[in-house]
Amino acid sequence: MRTGLRASLAVFAVVLALVASSASAAVFTLEDQNSSAIFDMAGDGQIVWVVDGVDQLFEQSFWWRVGSAGAEAPVTGLDVIGSLASDSNPWSDSRADVLGTLYRDPAQRFEIEVSYKLRGGLLGTKTSDLAETIVIRNLSATSLAFNFFQYVDFDLGGLADDDTVWFSNDNTVVQVSEDMMVTETVVTPVAANRQADYIPVLIDLLTDSDPTTLANNNGPLGPGNVAWAFQWTFDLAPGGTFIISKDKLIVPEPTTMALLGCGLFAGLIRRRR
Ligand SMILES: [Ca+2]
Ligand SMILES: [Ca+2]
Ligand SMILES: [Ca+2]
C-alpha cells in the first residue's frame, strides 16, 4: 500500500516537474482588448498574434551575424539574461501587454534587448498594433561589423496562401489578404536591405551556412504564402549602441484601401479579379 502510494507520488512529482519545466520555457502571452500575442523568447520568437479570434501570424523572428563570413543565427539562441511580461495600461486593461527580454552573446561581445508593446482595438474592430524596440550594445573593446535581420511570416485571416506583399517604400512594407491588412513601418533607422519572397526562400537564407545579403526585392508578390525580411548593416563602435524602432499595424483591408487609395492597390485588385 505504502509502496503503491510512493509510486503514485513519484509519478505525480515527475508530472509536476514536466509542467514546471514547460512553464519556465520562456513562453509569454500578451493581451490587450481584442488581441493576444504569444512569444517563445528561447524558440521561434513571436509565434501567435490573434486579433478578434483569428491568428494572423505564423512567425516573427530576429537574426544576427557579426562579420562578413559565416551563417546567421537566431537572437533567441543567445543567452537569455532575463524576460518579463508586465502591464503598462492597468486603467483600460489590466492584463500584461508589454514584454522585455535581454539577450547576451555567450562570447560577451554584445547584448540585444528586445521590447514589445501590444495595443488591441475594441472587440470586433479587427485592429491591433505591436510596437517593437531593439537595442544592440557592443560590450567589447573592438568594433563589430553587425548585421541584424527581422523575418516576418504573416498568414492573414488565418490562411497562408492568399496574401500579397510589397514594400511601399524603403521603410514600409504592406501585406494584404481578402479581408485583412498589415503594415510595418520602421520608425528608425532605414534598413540597408529588404526582401519580399515566397515561403521558404527567406527562412532558408537565414538558416543556411552562408552569409546572407537580402536582394532588395520589393514585390508585389502574391497571392501566395509570402513573407518579408529587413536587414540592418552597421559598424558598432566599442561601447556603442544601435536602436531599431518599428511598428506593426493590423487593420481590416477595405478601410485601409479606402484610406490609401493608391494606384498600386487599384492595379492589384484588377489583377486579382
Ligand atoms: Ca494591460
Ligand atoms: Ca505567410
Ligand atoms: Ca545565410
State the ligand closest to the CA atom of 95: 1
Q: What is the largest CA-CA distance in the chain?
A: 79
State the ligand closest to the CA atom of 214: 3
Range of the domain at 167: 2-272
Residue with cell 509502496: 3
Nearest to 60 by CA among 163, 143, 184, 144: 184
pTM recorded for the entire structure: 0.85
Q: Above 60 in pLDDT, residue 255?
A: no
The pLDDT, as a whole number, for residue 253 is 83
- 241 C-alpha to center of ligand 3: Å? 24
What is the per-residue pLDDT across 37-46, written as a single tens digit (0 to 9) for each? 999 999 999 9
Contact 41, 28 (CB under 8 A): yes
Which secondary structure element, helix H or strand E, spans residue 196, and what is its range? strand 193-198
The pLDDT, as a whole number, for residue 12 is 47
| Bridge partner list, 103 | 80, 112
Q: How many domains does the chain have?
A: 1
Contact 156, 182 (CB under 8 A): yes
Residue 133: CB atoms within 10 A of its CB come to 16
Please report the beta strands in 23-178, taking only residues with DSSP state E, as ranges in sequence order.
Answer: 27-32, 35-40, 45-51, 54-55, 57-66, 73-74, 79-86, 98-104, 110-120, 128-138, 144-154, 163-169, 172-176
- 175 C-alpha to center of ligand 2: Å? 9
What is the per-residue pLDDT across 193-242, written as a single tens digit (0 to 9) for each? 999 999 999 999 999 999 999 999 999 999 999 999 999 999 999 999 99
Residue with cell 530576429: 62
State the ligand closest to the CA atom of 87: 1
- Over range 237-248, report the average pLDDT: 98
Indicate which CATH number applies to the domain containing 79: 2.70.98.40
**Is the bond into 189 cis (omega within 30 degrees of 0)?**
yes
The pLDDT, as a whole number, for residue 20 is 41
State the ligand closest to the CA atom of 94: 1
Half-sphere exposure of 115 (CA within 13 A, CB side): 14
Mean pLDDT over each residue of the chain, to the nearest integer = 89
What is the per-residue pLDDT across 106-116, written as a single tens digit (0 to 9) for each? 999 999 999 99
- 41 C-alpha to center of ligand 1: Å? 20
- Over range 169-196, report the average pLDDT: 95
- Please report, as a single letter, which amino acid is at residue 71: A
The grid cell for 238 is: 566599442
- 28 C-alpha to center of ligand 2: Å? 22
The pLDDT, as a whole number, for residue 178 is 84
State the ligand closest to the CA atom of 58: 2
The grid cell for 105 is: 552573446
Distance of CA 38 to the CA centre of its chain: 10
What is the per-residue pLDDT across 115-137, written as a single tens digit (0 to 9) for each? 999 999 999 999 999 999 999 99
- 210 C-alpha to center of ligand 3: Å? 4
Residues within 5 Å of ion ligand 3 by Cβ? 72, 205, 208, 210, 212
What is the per-residue pLDDT across 50-92, written as a single tens digit (0 to 9) for each? 999 999 999 999 999 999 999 999 999 999 999 999 999 999 9
- 163 C-alpha to center of ligand 2: Å? 7
| Bridge partner list, 114 | 101, 134
- 241 C-alpha to center of ligand 1: Å? 29
- Over range 3-16, report the average pLDDT: 47
The pLDDT, as a whole number, for residue 8 is 53
Nearest to 101 by CA among 39, 148, 38, 188: 39
- 75 C-alpha to center of ligand 3: Å? 14
